[in-house]
Structure 1
Amino acid sequence: MKTKTKHFSSKILSFCALSLVCACLSTGALAQTKGPAKPPMTSKVKGLLYEVRLMNQDDATIEKTNNKAKPPIAYLFASVHIAKKDFHPMSVPVQKAYAQADTIMVEADSNSDSAVQAIASKLSYSAPDKLEKHVSQAVWGTLKAMAGKSVDQFQSYTPVMVAMGLSVEVSMQLGFDPTQSIDLHFINAAKKDNKALIELDGLEFQADVLGSLNDDEGNALLANTLDSFRKGELKSQLQSMNQAWLKADANGIEKILLEAGNRDEGSKKIMNSLMDDRNEGIANKIRELMQQGKKAFIVLNAGHMAGERSIIAQLKQQGLQVKQIR
């Protein structure tokens, strides 16, 4: 599968901030998905929306209605960083969950030029260093065969940055658009509506994690990404992810993301560092917001919803009630 890479450095770099995790994980993950997931039951919700209830708290932290204690409620919404126009508008239950909130929590404000530049510096090489020195001859040969005369533009980027850029590029050719990002939608809405906007960590933290991959890890991640392109599987794979999200298919999305986190050493490190290892701390922050009486709407990468250490599991372990709104 040939990839148009002519405008990688000028066009794609600014979009990588919107796809730090999904773009480098989803390609190889979906390549391992064998056949479509079983159709989920009909849902009126697009995307994974969860209601979180804080129970058994002191009355001082609980909103009261008609002299009856009403446990605080927060809403957790799973995001994908590269979407299509048909993801919008948000379904009515999601719109209502957002409308009632006074506080919007996101992982990072991706609508920041300075953040994009920070990512570029953390995931780039300075001459005379270059990509070719950090990947195997086989991986470099595959990239060169794919990109042709355009291959030199990749020399200044790390393997994970190239994997992200290629994933975003091909996704855009298939009609996906980083500007339709779920995170970006709610970031812009929160600013417009003057709602409190909280960043969990920021793009620079995420870039630090991606930049921490050693050569072997980066090489493995890029090799898997290139392999999925070469097999010509990306179109059907991305459409499967698209449909799973639109149908609120929690099991299907979890299967894809769990496979993503185990496909190579680079993906394992990213999944552990950006997802699993952070979920307990994020659950603590969500509970703290609710104890403070905040009406929170939390937008997290769908990867946080997958696995035994998922944010859903962590919230339940802390005694909160969590249920999917369908």
Structure 2
Amino acid sequence: MNRQNMTLFGLMLSTILFCSSAWAKLTDTPPFYLVEYQGKTAYLLGSVHLGKPDFYPLPKKIEQAFNESNTLVVEALPDQNTNNLILKSQTASTLPKTKSAKYIQFCELHLLVCQAIEHLPMWMQAAQITLYRLIHFGYHPDLGIDMHFINRAKNKHKAQLESMEYQLTLLNSIDKKTQRQMIDEAITTPNDELEDLFIAWRQGDSEKISSVIKQSMNKNNNTDLLDKLVWKRNKPMSDGIIRLMKNTKAGTSIFVVIGAGHLEGDHSVNHYLKQAGAHVKSVWKKP
């Protein structure tokens, strides 16, 4: 699976959090947790799926934890079958004959973009439009946090908490009305709202991250999308982390990278880890 296709999944899985501004690395404190369970250790990093060169090097504590770990764990690892799955999904959900005024106006200005993506499922079109906008701000999927560690984990064991096939099936199951709304929101979301997300991730502002995720997916007091794409996935991912920790040799650690939106709030991965008996604390906060 190529890197751009991999980004399609991350962009629409509540993990669309990116960084901005060339701040000094000493000020960066993205969501990063130490998890301890029955004498075993894991480091849990909230990820973003696009990046800029000034993201790197990441803070020393993150790099050190990765270097000392023997296993990298991500939401989903690309495999040879993923491209085939994406190709099969291309006819799953195209735009309806009646297009919104927002979409028509966008395509008048960006005709080549719309022609290139019109055969894709609607949720994927929304992801590509978002990607198109952010590339103009200097972001790129090759520099996303997930890809950064996958590319560096050649000598480490790699594990996944879900799969690309599962994520693709989940996204294709979103109802058509909601997918059309995704496209309109990808077109009209103001730049300053994206900037709020960037700053929140880079500062590790968990309350802001949780608030923005809820606002973006909870339309008209309808939490169906939030429940499907975020909350219902968090308990299985938490269970997967606990299972991997149990199988880790004493004296070693695992390094887990999942979307930052999955780590914050009452239904978060961290919440379920604590319920399972794990001790979870921010690496940045002193006892």
SS of match in other structure, 1:197: strand
CA deviations over 1:163-209 (Å, ceiling 9, x no partner): 10010011011011110011111111112xx1110012222211111
Corresponding residue for 1:66? Answer: none
Q: CA deviation at 1:312?
A: 0.9
Which residue is 1:15 aligned to? Answer: 4
Q: CA RMSD in A?
A: 2.9
1:213 aligns with 2:174: yes
Tell me if 1:175 matches 2:138.
yes
Q: Do 1:206 and 1:274's aligned partners in 2 also have CA atoms closer than 8 Å?
A: no
What TM-score do you get using the length of structure 1 for normalisation? 0.74
CA distance in 2, matches of 1:90, 1:144: 38
Deviations 1:243-278 (Å, cap 9, x if unpaired)? 22222222222222222221379x955532332112
Match of 1:118 in 2: 85
Deviation by residue 1:117-145 (Cα, 9 ceiling, x = unmatched): 422431x128xx95243x54445534433
| Counterpart check, 1:305 vs 2:263 | yes
Is residue 59 of structure 2 the alignment partner of residue 91 of structure 1? yes
Shift of the 208–80 alpha-carbon distance from structure 1 to 2, 3 Å rule, reads: same
| TM norm structure 2 | 0.83
2:227 matches 1:272:
yes
Aligned to 1:190: 153
Name the CA distance, whole Å, in 2 between partners of 1:227 and 1:160: 15
The one-letter code of the counterpart of 2:30 is: G
Matches within 5 A, 1:1-326: 15-22=4-11, 45-54=28-37, 57=38, 71-110=39-78, 112=79, 114-122=81-89, 124-125=90-91, 130-133=94-97, 136-138=99-101, 140-148=103-111, 151-191=114-154, 194-228=155-189, 233-234=190-191, 236-263=192-219, 268-294=223-249, 295-326=253-284
Q: How many residues align?
A: 274
Q: Which residue of 1 aligns with 2:22?
A: none
Residue 26 of structure 1: how far off its partner (Å):
7.1
Distance change in 2, residues 1:150/1:86 (3 Å)? closer
CA distance in 2, matches of 1:289, 1:113: 24
- Given that 1:74 and 1:296 are in contact with CA atoms closer than 8 Å, whether structure 2 keeps it comes out as yes
Q: In structure 2, do the counterparts of structure 1 residues 159 and 264 end up closer, same or farther at CA, with 3 Å as the change threshold?
A: farther
Distance 1:292 1:45, change over 3 A: farther
- The structure whose Rg is larger is 1
Equivalence for 1:67: none
Listed as ranges, the gaps of 5+ residues in structure 1 are: 1-12, 31-41, 58-70
CA-CA distance at 1:25 after TM superposition: 5.1
Separation (CA, whole Å) in 2 of partners of 1:181 and 1:174 = 14
Aligned partners of 1:183, 1:19: CA distance in 2, in Å?
A: 13
